[in-house]
Structures are given as C-alpha cells and as structure tokens.
Amino acid sequence: MRLNGKTALITGAARGIGRGIALCLAEEGANIVVNDLGDDSGISAHADAVAAEIEAAGGEVISHGANVANFEQVTDMVGQAMDKWGRVDILINNAGILRDKSFLKMEPENWQAVMDVHLNGAYFVTRPAMAAMKENGYGRIVMTTSAAGLYGNFGQTNYSAAKMGLIGLANAIKLEGAKYNIKVNTVAP
C-alpha cells in the first residue's frame, strides 16, 4: 500500500520505534512530520537528523520540536502540517518518558511528568489532528501503549497507569471518529 499524498505525524519520532515508523511511512510515500522534544527554542537536533534522512531519500518532511505536553506547541505543529500539505491523515502517538520509582517512593512530580507526556500529550496532539482528519473525512490514529499498561510493572505505576489510560482514550475516540472514517488502534510493542 502506497501512502502518496497522505500526511503522517509521528511523536517521539527521533529514535527507536518512532524513528522506524517515520522512515517506513516516508518510504511508502507519506509526507512526514517528525516530532521529538526540542530545546527551549523548539529545535530538536534528533528530529532534524531523522528529517534529513527522509529528505535525502526524496521525501517531504517537517521537523518539529514540540513538547507534546504543551497544547499550544502541538497545535502549531499540526497547523504547520496543514499549511504545508493541507491535511493530516495519520497520527502515531509514540512520545514517551520514564520516571521509574516504586509506588511509595514516587514523588508527585514524577507521576505528573509521565502522565503529561504519555496521556495528556496524546490528548493534546490527537485533538487538533483529529479535527483535521474530520475535515478530510479520513484518518488513522495509533496509540503506542505497553505491556506495562496491560499487566503492570514493578516500579512503573505512573507509566503503567498512563499507558492503560491510552487504551481508554483510544476506545472512546474510535467510537466518536467512526462516523468520519477515522479509525483508532493501539499497539503494545
């Protein structure tokens, strides 16, 4: 299946699974928004490096250093994709961080930081992206969850709760998106 003319936004796309997804979708012909957390000016050297790989292979790409936990920054990111290509067709919510501690030692700021990136970040990015998808009558959204969310993991109560929250978020928005031809799935690599 070729993705020519489709636009894909991938969060956490500078390394690991996200990088692999970005390169694969670009190889299939999609326009790519490579997102990875940038510095205070919003520049992400890691995202820029992946974007350079895509450009070198002849792909169309935007590199964006938005913090997914910042609604204004991700709204700008989606807006840039809309300005350049007029659409967002695919969203892969892959951004993530770890702040591992056993539950009784976990400080509230470590709980909140993980919730902000995994769960709130997915909401913040999905909301404007899904609005763009609704306008175009087409969309595919993937939430990257984890076995830790499905089964729990010692020392990862924050991560486990956030990843399970993504499943609930996906299950609800798939019902709302169905009438607009927006399909939503979760993967647990």
| Catalytically annotated residues | 159
DSSP for 18-54, written as a single string: HHHHHHHHHHTT-EEEEE----TTS--HHHHHHHHHH
Q: Please, are residues 43 and 65 in contact by the beta-carbon 8 Å criterion? A: yes
Angle between helices 16-27 and 45-56 (to 10 degrees): 30
Pair of tokens at residue 126: 């999905």
